[in-house]
Amino acid sequence: MATKHRIGRIARIRYVVDPPPKGYVYPCAIEDIHEKLSSLPADMLRNISVIRLCNQVKMNRGIDAHIYDGSEIRIYPVPEKLRWNYGRNKPNPACAQERLEFGAYWQRIDNEWFLCWDKDLLRDYVLNHILIHEIGHSLDTTYYATSRGEQIAEAFAHRVGRNHEIIRRAKKRKKRLRRYGHANE
């Protein structure tokens, strides 16, 4: 059963949490989302009515969120181990370039390549890029659901999110991982 939260001054936004499926977790908590939203101008949130941690498992490899009806943002669960299997051949770096910039790293386990995340960097990526990207979609009434709309939402996320700080921390962490031999990049 989903739980509903109403937190603080953004009371007009409903927060819904579905129980995650077995083997999955949410990349961030409702409290984290609320804290991020409360730091944004109210005008940016004018079209958002529901934030939902939705228990539907998407079959694509990666972090997923969508906006429905221009007002409900759904954030989907991720595997508990915070890693996605890409098979025996190391994937083309372009397939995960954005995620790699924000802190994901490649790891080889038993001849299989995995895209892995650190919990804190994943949470930052979802709060400061994915969530903001979806808010950007809610504000775009002209190019919604087009490739131009994706470009606009992406530019909005880069402008409003703390992306430079996240990328800087991710690079610092990756250097540390390489130094100790934990990341195969």
pLDDT at 8: 44
51 belongs to a structural domain: yes
Largest CA distance in the chain: 50
pLDDT at 143: 82
C-alpha neighbours within 13 Å on the C-beta side of residue 105: 22
For the cut 80, the answer to whether the pLDDT of residue 3 exceeds it is no
Q: Tokens for 59?
A: 């079959």
For the cut 70, the answer to whether the pLDDT of residue 6 exceeds it is no
Query: Beta partners for 105?
Result: 116
Share of the chain above pLDDT 70, in %: 83
134-155 residues labelled b (16+ CB within 10 A) or e (exposed): bbbbbbbeeebeeeebbebbee
For the cut 60, the answer to whether the pLDDT of residue 53 exceeds it is yes
pLDDT, averaged across the chain:
84
141 belongs to a structural domain: yes
Structural domain total, the chain: 1
Please tell me whether residue 68 adopts helix, strand or coil conformation: strand
185 belongs to a structural domain: no
Please tell me whether residue 75 adopts helix, strand or coil conformation: strand
pLDDT at 62: 74
pLDDT at 76: 94
172 belongs to a structural domain: yes
28 belongs to a structural domain: yes
pLDDT mean over 39-54: 94
67 belongs to a structural domain: yes
Residue count of the chain, please give it. 185
For the cut 90, the answer to whether the pLDDT of residue 30 exceeds it is yes
pLDDT at 9: 44
**Parent domain of 114:** 3-179
Residues ≥6 apart with Cβ < 8 Å to 135: 40, 44, 45, 48, 73, 156, 160
Residues ≥6 apart with Cβ < 8 Å to 95: none
pLDDT at 34: 95
184 belongs to a structural domain: no
58 belongs to a structural domain: yes
β-strands 3-5, 14-17 pairing: antiparallel
pLDDT tens digit sequence for 77-96: 999 999 998 889 878 877 78
Question: Using N-to-C axis directions, what is the helix angle for 147-160 and 131-139, rounded to 10°?
Answer: 120
For the cut 50, the answer to whether the pLDDT of residue 185 exceeds it is no
pLDDT tens digit sequence for 127-183: 999 999 999 999 988 887 788 888 999 888 888 887 666 677 777 766 665 555 555
Rounded-to-integer distance, Cα 146 and Cα 166, Å: 28
